[in-house]
Amino acid sequence: MKKFQTSLFLFLLFIGLIRVSAQTSVEIEKASKSCKPVFLVVYNSNSAETDKALSIANEAKKNLKSSSVVIQMNTADDANKNLVSKFRLAGAPLPLILVLDKNGNAAGGFILKDATSEKLADLIPSPKNSEIIAALTAGKSVYVVAYKESMASKKNIIDNCYLACNKMENKSVIVKVDLEDKKETKLLQTLKCDLNAKEPVTYVINSAGQITGTHNGLTDVNTLVSSAKKAPASSCCPSGSAKAGGCK
């Protein structure tokens, strides 16, 4: 009888662990559906370092003005192997803290020794940044058009970008950023946008996440396409950059 009780206890414990592991992806999906960013604490064993990483993530959540979620993920659990692959965590030094945007895409992260609540909060991307991240996550290039509503050439420039997307056979997307949108200040600064520009500027980001072209005003469609197909250059889109059709 005692042996049976012990076996039953171990079985129930095993089932419980599987349930907790599988819950990680469910929690991430739930946060995404609620448009909440996630501080994902990634570890492979319970330790003082893991506890410290969790504490930093919770501090970031507490200090953030908008709603967010802290989720734990044990890479040693088989139920999380798809997430390990998705976020390219195989061989990564652990513990670490990943920041997932409101659509569940990785926006960046820090290993424990470099992580602070301020740095984590700063990685949460703006709405337009999330669109860029979504495109890059899907392996697509991006045409970022920085404009003002008053710019007369805005429509023609955006139309040319749509034509370029057609030539790219659905391997690129357009992200339109208003130069006067205060929520996009950080993105505009990263792109080094001239807020006093007289006409729209198109920034081309290749599928590797690197800026491969900056075009002022109306640009030839073929030039836009060739820019998007360029091999990786030294300049790149920041890790905190860029789900199309996702949360607003």
Residues 6+ apart with CB under 8 A from 164: 143, 172, 221, 224, 225, 228
> Are 134 and 223 found together in one domain?
yes
CA proximity to 161, closest of 151, 147, 172, 150: 172
Task: Show the domain range for 212.
Answer: 127-228
Confidence of residue 17 (pLDDT cuts 50, 70, 90): very low
What are the tens digits of pLDDT across the range 34-72? 999 999 999 998 899 999 999 999 999 998 888 999 999
For position 110, which CATH number holds?
3.40.30.10
In angstroms, how far is CA 150 from the centroid of its own chain? Answer: 31
The predicted pLDDT at position 240 comes to 40
> Are 112 and 144 found together in one domain?
no
* Per-residue CA distances from 226 to 159, 167, 192, 206, 214 (Å): 17, 10, 22, 10, 12
Cis bond before residue 95 (omega within 30° of 0) = yes
Helix ranges (H only) for the chain are: 2-33, 48-63, 81-86, 117-122, 127-137, 154-167, 185-190, 221-228
Residue 207 domain-assigned (yes or no)? yes
The predicted pLDDT at position 123 comes to 94
Mean pLDDT of 168-190: 95
Confidence of residue 233 (pLDDT cuts 50, 70, 90): low
> Are 70 and 90 found together in one domain?
yes
Q: Is 123 in contact with 68 (CB distance < 8 Å)?
A: no
Per-residue pLDDT for 147 more than 80? yes
> Are 84 and 165 found together in one domain?
no
> Are 27 and 100 found together in one domain?
yes
Confidence of residue 19 (pLDDT cuts 50, 70, 90): very low
The predicted pLDDT at position 170 comes to 85
Between 244 and 231, the more confident residue is 231
What are the tens digits of pLDDT across the range 119-146? 999 999 999 999 999 999 999 999 999 9
Residue 235 domain-assigned (yes or no)? no
Residue 239 domain-assigned (yes or no)? no
Residue 76 domain-assigned (yes or no)? yes
Number of domains in the chain: 2
> Are 102 and 174 found together in one domain?
no
Cα distance between residue 207 and residue 105, in whole Å: 15
Residue 245 domain-assigned (yes or no)? no
